[in-house]
């Protein structure tokens, strides 16, 4: 029996778009603009607004009216959750905390003028800017694949319609067909995510299409929780999953979406569904703001998540280059609280607490078979450094694995409340 998450948030309507003119003389409250309404941005906006008791004017810029979590979207692919379980509204942030929620795209940042330009023509002035734009994809990182081909070979690494599309493709695979995943190179969002996805696709195929095959084409030599996943695949899905690593040509691949072909070092594989997860970089607005390094990610100061390129800008979550923390929803939420405290301290002279960071990533391998990995972190001059970690072990009993899965559901409910209520 599967423990399903109870939807915690009502269907409150999102706040109407708020367009701001440049600051007028005599502005009484400092202004914080947050770009990106995910685990980093929504958490930062809520904590700044709530804990400053109205002393700071907070604007959250997010183009979508419902936020779908990428974490736990694999459970939707596996048939454990519904798509609606992943979707959440911004209405409470506006109604309860007085946050100006702007549903628009941020298209430019003028760091000298300290303004953000919106696609709809609005301009938002700020005293502090928080960027939490998530990821974008590196063009041509998988030859033959582009955003134009995402409906034929979906990435589903930004949750919502892409996740729904990939599930439909898996559900409608021909009997005995082949599901292929092109896994991403490091670093990328949610290190165990592609392999939990394989587990969930295998789970649904075992039920509905048991002669189907799964092919993982992986440019990495190793990956997160590898021994746990491979043990679980052997127990739950024997003979269904094959992984091709770089030693067998997975670092030299291309795809042909029209023909549904994958070329692995000169060997052509005909596939029925192909999930291409490209190489990744910081969300586009971080690059447009001039805050990314050659790596494509935005370097930050470990003690507070400030951009190393601008003392008035903070960069959170997946977009940041901060050190040892994985790119995850838990990490972004943890970083957001540190940044919010730093911003309140600077703008209202409130108490500054030492930075502490933590992360846990849960994965579901099969029914009630949950595993996890995590660590605590501390800032150094150079990076956010891991100081102690933990990971599930091969051979754990079924009851512990069930409890680990239930723990993950509790965490999901908790982070959603922390972000949106």
Residues contacting residue 335 through CB under 8 Å, at least 6 positions apart: 40, 305, 316, 317, 320, 322, 325, 357
The DSSP annotation for 218-286 comes to: -SSS--TTHHHHHHHHHHHSTTTEEEE-GGGTTTSEEEETTTTEEEETTEEEE-SEEEE---EEE-HHH
- Cα(181)–Cα(110) distance, integer angstroms: 39
- Cα(43)–Cα(339) distance, integer angstroms: 10
pLDDT tens readout for residues 265-302: 999 999 999 999 999 999 999 999 999 999 999 999 99
Q: For residue 71, is pLDDT > 60?
A: yes
pLDDT average, residue stretch 104-130: 98
Residue 22 is classified by DSSP as: S
pLDDT average, residue stretch 214-241: 98
Asked if the peptide bond before residue 116 counts as cis, ω within 30 degrees of 0, the response is: no
pLDDT tens readout for residues 130-184: 999 999 999 999 999 999 999 999 999 999 999 999 999 999 999 999 999 999 9
Q: For residue 9, is pLDDT > 90?
A: no
Task: Report pLDDT for 27.
Answer: 60
Q: For residue 127, is pLDDT > 90?
A: yes
- Cα(240)–Cα(202) distance, integer angstroms: 7
Q: For residue 15, is pLDDT > 50?
A: no
What tokens appear for 107 in the block? Answer: 């298209």
Cα 73 → chain centroid: 10
- Give the number of other Cβ atoms within 10 Å of residue 209's Cβ: 19
pLDDT-derived band at 28 (thresholds 50, 70, 90) equals confident
- Cα(70)–Cα(336) distance, integer angstroms: 18
CB 340 within 8 A of CB 378: no
Residue 180's DSSP bridge partners are 215, 274
Give percent above pLDDT 90 in the chain: 93
The DSSP annotation for 351-402 comes to: --PPP-EEEEEEEEEETTEEEEEEEEEEE-SS-EEEEEEEE--TT--HHHHH
Q: For residue 230, is pLDDT > 50?
A: yes
Residue of higher predicted confidence among 371 and 26: 371
């Amino acid at each position: 029996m599967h423990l399903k998450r109870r939807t915690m948030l009502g269907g409150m309507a999102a706040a109407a778009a708020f367009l701001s003119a440049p600051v007028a003389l005599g502005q009484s409250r400092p202004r914080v603009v947050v770009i990106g309404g995910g685990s980093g941005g929504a958490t930062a906006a809520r904590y700044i607004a709530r804990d400053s008791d109205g002393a700071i004017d907070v604007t959250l810029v997010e183009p979508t009216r419902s936020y779908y979590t990428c974490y736990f979207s694999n459970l939707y692919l596996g048939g454990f959750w519904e798509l609606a379980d992943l979707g959440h509204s911004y209405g409470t942030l506006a109604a309860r905390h007085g946050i100006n929620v702007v549903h628009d795209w941020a298209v430019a940042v003028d760091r000298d003028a300290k303004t953000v330009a919106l696609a709809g023509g609005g301009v938002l002035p700020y005293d502090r800017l928080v960027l939490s734009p998530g990821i974008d994809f590196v063009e041509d990182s998988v030859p033959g694949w582009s955003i134009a081909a995402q409906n034929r070979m979906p990435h589903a690494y930004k949750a919502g319609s892409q996740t729904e599309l990939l599930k439909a493709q898996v559900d409608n695979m021909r009997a005995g067909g082949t599901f292929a995943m092109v896994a991403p190179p490091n670093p990328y969002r949610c290190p165990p995510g592609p392999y939990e996805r394989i587990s969930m696709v295998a789970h649904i195929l075992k039920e509905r299409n048991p002669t189907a095959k799964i092919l993982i084409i992986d440019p990495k030599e190793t990956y997160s929780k590898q021994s746990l996943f491979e043990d679980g695949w052997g127990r739950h899905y024997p003979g269904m999953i094959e992984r091709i690593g770089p030693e067998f040509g997975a670092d030299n691949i291309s795809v042909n979406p029209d023909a549904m072909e994958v070329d692995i070092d000169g060997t052509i594989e005909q596939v029925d569904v192909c999930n291409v997860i490209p190489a990744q970089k910081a969300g586009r607005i971080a690059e447009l703001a001039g805050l990314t390094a050659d790596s494509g990610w935005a370097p930050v100061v470990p003690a507070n998540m400030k951009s190393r390129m601008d003392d008035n800008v903070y960069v959170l979550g997946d977009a940041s280059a901060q050190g040892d923390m994985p790119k995850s929803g838990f990490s972004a939420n943890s970083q957001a609280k540190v940044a919010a405290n730093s911003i309140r301290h600077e703008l209202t002279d409130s108490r500054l607490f030492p930075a502490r960071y933590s992360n846990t990533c849960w994965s579901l391998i099969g029914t009630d078979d949950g595993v996890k990995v995590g660590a605590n972190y501390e800032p150094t001059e150079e990076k956010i450094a891991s100081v102690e970690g933990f990971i599930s072990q091969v051979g754990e009993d079924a009851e512990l694995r069930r409890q680990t899965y239930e723990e993950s559901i509790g965490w999901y409910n908790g982070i959603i409340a922390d972000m949106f209520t």
